Amino acid sequence: GRAVMKGWMPGVGDFAFSLFSNKASPHSTKVSFYSAQERYGDRDDGEAVLRRALGGGGGTLAEHHEEGANVAIIQISLPLPLEVDFVFSSFKDSEIPATADANRIIQAAADFHADDALEKVINERRDAFSAKFDGIFGLKDAKCERRNKGNACWDGRITEVGQRVAKAALSEVLGQMSFTYGSWYKGKDPYDDKGVEVGPTGLFASAGHRTGAPSLFEEGFSLMLLRLWDPSIARELLLSWLSKIQPDGWIPPTLSLGTSSHKRVTHRHEKLPQSNHLATPPTILLALESMLEQGAASQSFLRCVTPHLVSWLNHIRRGQKGSVKHSYAWQGRERVRCKGGAHSGKMTVTTNSSGLKDYPRSRGSDFSVDSHVDLMSWVAASLRVLAKLDHSAREGGEEAWV
């Protein structure tokens, strides 16, 4: 093992970041230290730090050290093919006495690696994940019907390949859970491309982080899965989104927080500002309904979230009225030019707020005459869930929440 970096941090003490490889020593190892907050004014903009460290290009790290550094960038060159492990050792996460020196920390990391302890922990976690997965979803004993070509179903049973795909799908959802922090932009109308800066605020979400814009629409579908895996996490995610409700009852459909997330959104030529003229399908209500039926939502939890849900649904019903009495229509529809494909260059109409932007709808010039049956269905489904919440309150001997 080779110590790449040693140091000290509050709450951790002395630590070491070590490299273990099946190859000989690295061709080169370089470490640079930067103060992201002081130099760039935004702790979230790690890309700016990396660009400066690489000298604007070339891929070679320039060794550097700034006072008060809070970012360490490490570049290691190794021959291919290779297998490599990075091990972080500290007093906090080991049994090394606080009087030990850095060399003992390095040796502890080497012992940890040499004893295959890391591989043992990985295998234990993998087996625990598989056992929990089988206990919840029961795919080993589930029956299936093969409807098209593929190898996920065979002889009425889900194959090993199908089970691995299912585990990978769950892992994808679990792996996206992140906490983001920063400002976001609110537009004065659906067509405002600049908006005004709001925040900063934080958000714990499981959907859309890789695009830089966590989505309330996608969150509901993720929660349908997560409420089975870990109901407590599902409740935290739901509460985090509901905490973003505005005084008028509106919840931003997507929340891109911080400079790095903003760049990813604008790089795809998508609008950054969010407008309270737009709504999004209330998919989280479907997840809450499932949690209620599962018994994973306590009376105190339901009492906490219901007022927010009522306010949110009322905002949707007020702002998304259709041309006919008691009908609803998605606002913010716009004409855009297709990019790529057989229809490249042709004009089309999108309805991004519906979650089904390519769903066939009227393409007339006057959107004010629109009425959309999918939005009416969402409102009806939401009212059904709220009725169940009201029934749950009465069964618990409480006054109606709705």
Q: Enter the pTM of the model.
A: 0.75
pLDDT at 396 over 70: no
**Distances 299 to 1, 75, 244, 283, 392 between C-alpha atoms, Å:** 54, 52, 22, 21, 8
pLDDT value for 384? 94
pLDDT at 290 over 60: yes
pLDDT at 195 over 80: yes
State the helix-helix crossing angle for 283-294 and 231-242, rounded to 10 degrees: 140
pLDDT value for 3? 65
Average pLDDT over residues 93-121: 63
pLDDT value for 114? 56
Alpha carbon distance 212, 265 (integer Å): 6
Average pLDDT over residues 227-243: 95
pLDDT value for 251? 95
Greater confidence (381 vs 49) lies with 381
Q: What amino acid occupies position 132?
A: K
Q: Which of 48-57, 67-76, 84-93, 307-316 has the highest mean pLDDT?
A: 307-316
Dihedral pair phi/psi, residue 340, rounded to 5°: 80, 165
Q: What percent of the chain has pLDDT over 90?
A: 33
For residue 370, give both structure tokens. 């629109």
Lowest mean pLDDT among 102-111, 204-213, 218-227: 102-111
Instruction: Summarize pLDDT for 353-371 with one digit per residue, the tens.
Output: 888 776 777 766 677 778 8
Average pLDDT over residues 161-179: 91
Lowest mean pLDDT among 29-43, 192-206, 331-345: 29-43
Count CB atoms within 10 A of the CB of residue 124: 10
Alpha carbon distance 375, 398 (integer Å): 32
Q: What percent of the chain has pLDDT over 70?
A: 78
pLDDT at 14 over 90: no
Instruction: Summarize pLDDT for 61-79 with one digit per residue, the tens.
Output: 777 777 777 778 888 777 7
Confidence of residue 184 (pLDDT cuts 50, 70, 90): very high
Greater confidence (370 vs 114) lies with 370
pLDDT value for 246? 94
pLDDT value for 1? 59
pLDDT at 348 over 70: no
Alpha carbon distance 223, 286 (integer Å): 9
Helices (runs of H) and strands (runs of E) counted in the chain: 11, 12
pLDDT at 40 over 50: no
Q: Are strands 178-187 and 274-275 parallel, antiparallel or unpaired?
A: parallel
Nearest to 401 by CA among 215, 392, 355, 360: 392
DSSP letter at 210 equals G
Q: Across all residues in the chain, what is the average pLDDT?
A: 81
Nearest to 51 by CA among 38, 61, 65, 64: 61
Judge contact between 204 and 279, C-beta under 8 A: no
pLDDT value for 108? 66
- Kindly write down the DSSP assignment for every residue of 64-88, as one continuous string: -B-TT--EEEEEEE-PSS--EEEEE
Instruction: Summarize pLDDT for 115-160 with one digit per residue, the tens.
Output: 577 678 888 999 999 999 999 999 988 888 766 666 788 878 888 8
pLDDT value for 230? 95
Residues 6+ apart with CB under 8 A from 198: 183, 184, 185, 186
Greater confidence (226 vs 20) lies with 226
Lowest mean pLDDT among 220-229, 245-254, 269-278, 308-317: 269-278
Instruction: Summarize pLDDT for 240-270 with one digit per residue, the tens.
Output: 999 999 999 999 999 999 888 888 888 777 7
Greater confidence (210 vs 139) lies with 139
pLDDT value for 102? 57
